[in-house]
Structure 1
């Protein structure tokens, strides 16, 4: 990367406008990093990229399309992802790598420069903790998607930003170790979320660092540490499951006890937020809003839920279901609310529909710009239920009993308790609980070694017809995605493509 120029200094606003992207000038490294205001601007610039369409805005979600839970509007790139025929140069995939490294670069600028600024030490520590945390989250998201035991991903030179041609690590295990150390530093420096005022909601906090440590160790298959850090979150007293599953996905609960880390979104500001709710809404939104109609749940997902599981109806709309839309009760796939021709599965995700339920929601709950269809709902990236499931999985992998954690999840779903739960039980609960969320079902299957067998089965429409034939997943190749070719071309020989791509 060339010498970094800080483009945006972002202020914070309360409630659902936490990351206000109002430009505050364009200071260069020569006249910057002098004051506490500079430190704040530097930290806030890290969060600005989260809303980019190639990040949590939209693009990164395309990779989730590989899973058996998702059917997408027919388009070339979606078909290539579904069938593991991507090159990494598709418009939906080519910028993911670079954008994550841009966020990491901004975090490293903070870590290198803020310690030299004379300012309040408590605030300085918080800013450094935020930088460590955000660097680690970005690093993790690339590490398990692009790295394996044959080659990890490059670790930026934190002390020398001019050293830009960095080789891949010998194994992704090196990346996981580096990520874990960053998250431990973040946890030591960050305050608890409960100490933040509303204006600081959306900033990194202590239990989020522990939760991401648990996720990191899960991918590293270090079960003892995955359990340890998940348990730190559980015993912190900061989090709990909401009583009703559907309440997790209501705007009023953006910052509930179940919140750990989300994409802070807005219904009115087109400059930041996650547009995934609009991307999942029926194409053209039945004439009332510009839904994009890209992602739909499959029959395989719907049928996974056992009878009486409250999560199914809260997660998926099927023909005949009643739902609120623009202030009135509607019937899904009937009369004026039939599914669009682009709907491949006959279902729709309901999880993100709450903002559309209000009368006259546009401008208050729904973004007036249909080309940036974010809503007032913060889309979860890691929530407390996920932590419980991580702890359960880690315990089962150590031949420990995980009934307590799984039964907390099941109780809320209206299901009876399990006794001596198995890994198969864990897999089902994880799928049902986190369907259509950022946790990424595809990489769960890869991590468990189940992807080849699962993808060898066809996927179906609600009416039973096949919408995707059996797919060929090669676990020696397709367990990672291809690095964008332009990154390899620009690396002056320091980057090599993942084997087989």
Structure 2
């Protein structure tokens, strides 16, 4: 991954970007133009590395879409922030604000760079195996970006635009796909191409960590089929990961969220992050979830704080609860000392513990924490999809087909220190997803929406550690709020050809 970071530092200042039609026109030195780029193997390497560059944006995997995840009943906006509160309350007045406006364009930026690889790399003479891998990475990044766009913005009435990969028309405004199913078909096609071309992660050298690989493609195919409600294929592609023998559950749940295990058995795909450099690189989520002002030692931002409803969801004896959530009186390592957790700022009084390990070291700034608290990346990679979720994807797909899913669910429960279930139901599956994946990009809000549970869940108020109400009941209209509004700037830039989602 060092190769990515070093190249991105150079390319970030060299990319020529237009508001409506972003292009990667870069060269290692001199004036960047398409006429003198896409000539050598170095150009292809620079091109694929540049496709990852937007991952460093603070709103890519740090905030941005996480404001949508924050809409769930598992967490609240940790401190006063009107725009964030309006998002959680499904109040359309946040449209046009700053928090989520960039999510659409950032992902199409990655798609554009991936498409450039697919257009230009085939004609370039270079090592065949490396070219194949880069092509696979491009398909993977395209598929992943479209997937994240589709499930946030697309429904049966309109999907998101699908850009021509190989012969785009410069300046063309591409209309929205006719529905989200069309998007999922495109996503699955991209990811299947990726799976065919990519090697497994265990063939990579450390300098290549963070690049797309075969198991990640299989895992997202399974999740895309799950969202498409094609349960047979969801189970089948989950098995492509499970039966490969390349991944496994770590023995200790808390170990998943440690720097030492960034790349071990549980890893499928994460938000690669590092504290290296003057401002770090990657996801700022751990810093965003840290106590506001970090008890005077680091610039925690104090958002996305757990609710009592989430804390109470855990069964007695479930070791995941204490590994996932800090409550007042709990002991935790912080800047080399053992402190007793007590929030001075959190609206709920709780904090997610999952991302605290980098803050536990003595003198962590510069090694485990970014030197810049304004971009608080850490050396911990927040998981985006991990092996436990793949097991639960298969379990859900089996249950939705009327089949038994005890084996998969009990694997997850066994690690949590819980007794096995017999003839588990969807009620059990929903419980396990909530407890296993709390505070992660697995997206509790999206789960509630796709299960049809959001309206009832959000009609209940949320509470903090003392039992006091900290968030009122909300009105969720399943005909409107099942998707998020298209960013206003995309509608404006398209001259109205890209229409807003109905009801927003």
Bin for the TM-score computed over the shorter chain: over 0.9
Cα pair 2:7 2:46 within 8 Å, conserved: no
Change (3 A) 1:368 1:82: same
What do the CA deviations read for 1:437-462 (whole angstroms, capped 9, x no partner)?
01111000001000000000010011
What do the CA deviations read for 1:390-445 (whole angstroms, capped 9, x no partner)?
00000000001000000000000000000000000000000000000011110000
- Hey, what does 2:42 align to over in structure 1? 37
Cα pair 2:280 2:376 within 8 Å, conserved: no
The 1-side partners of 2:228 and 2:389 are apart by 17
Specify which of 225, 229, 243 is matched with residue 221 of structure 1: 229
Are 1:12 and 2:6 an aligned pair?
A: no
Q: Which moved more, 1:231-240 or 1:270-279?
A: 270-279
Secondary structure (helix, strand or coil) at the match of 1:330 reads strand
Q: Which moved more, 1:253-262 or 1:20-29?
A: 20-29
The 1-side partners of 2:420 and 2:464 are apart by 31
Q: State the 1:494 CA deviation.
A: 1.9
Q: Which moved more, 1:99-108 or 1:17-26?
A: 17-26
What do the CA deviations read for 1:37-79 (whole angstroms, capped 9, x no partner)?
0001000001111111221143222221111011111211111
Cα pair 2:280 2:370 within 8 Å, conserved: no
Are 1:272 and 2:275 an aligned pair?
A: no
- Hey, what does 2:482 align to over in structure 1? 479
The 2-side partners of 1:272 and 1:354 are apart by 17
Q: State the 1:11 CA deviation.
A: 6.2
- Hey, what does 1:3 align to over in structure 2? none
Q: Which moved more, 1:490-499 or 1:457-466?
A: 490-499
What do the CA deviations read for 1:124-164 (whole angstroms, capped 9, x no partner)?
11000000000100000000100000111100121233153
Are 1:97 and 2:100 an aligned pair?
A: no
Specify which of 303, 307, 310 is matched with residue 301 of structure 1: 310
Q: Which moved more, 1:312-321 or 1:85-94?
A: 85-94
Are 1:189 and 2:197 an aligned pair?
A: yes
Are 1:21 and 2:26 an aligned pair?
A: no
The 1-side partners of 2:499 and 2:102 are apart by 17
Q: RMSD between aligned alpha carbons? A: 1.4
- Hey, what does 1:362 align to over in structure 2? 365
- Hey, what does 1:80 align to over in structure 2? 86
Mind listing any 5+ residue stretches in structure 2 that lack a counterpart? 12-27
Specify which of 101, 108, 129 is matched with residue 122 of structure 1: 129
The 2-side partners of 1:434 and 1:111 are apart by 34
The 2-side partners of 1:472 and 1:365 are apart by 41
Q: State the 1:245 CA deviation.
A: 0.3
- Hey, what does 2:151 align to over in structure 1? 144
- Hey, what does 1:58 align to over in structure 2? 63
TM-score normalized by structure 1? 0.94
Cα pair 1:21 1:271 within 8 Å, conserved: no
- Hey, what does 1:5 align to over in structure 2? none
Cα pair 1:145 1:480 within 8 Å, conserved: yes
Cα pair 1:69 1:436 within 8 Å, conserved: yes
Q: State the 1:273 CA deviation.
A: 1.1
Cα pair 2:2 2:208 within 8 Å, conserved: no
What do the CA deviations read for 1:226-277 (whole angstroms, capped 9, x no partner)?
0010001000110000000000000000001110101111112325211110
What do the CA deviations read for 1:106-136 (whole angstroms, capped 9, x no partner)?
1111111101111111111100000000010
Secondary structure (helix, strand or coil) at the match of 1:62 reads helix
Cα pair 2:273 2:280 within 8 Å, conserved: no
Cα pair 1:88 1:481 within 8 Å, conserved: no
After TM superposition, where is structure 1 displaced by more than 6 Å over at least 4 residues in a row? none
The 2-side partners of 1:57 and 1:153 are apart by 23
TM-score normalized by structure 2? 0.94
Cα pair 1:192 1:207 within 8 Å, conserved: yes
Mind listing any 5+ residue stretches in structure 1 that lack a counterpart? 1-9, 334-338
Cα pair 1:11 1:20 within 8 Å, conserved: no
- Hey, what does 1:443 align to over in structure 2? 446
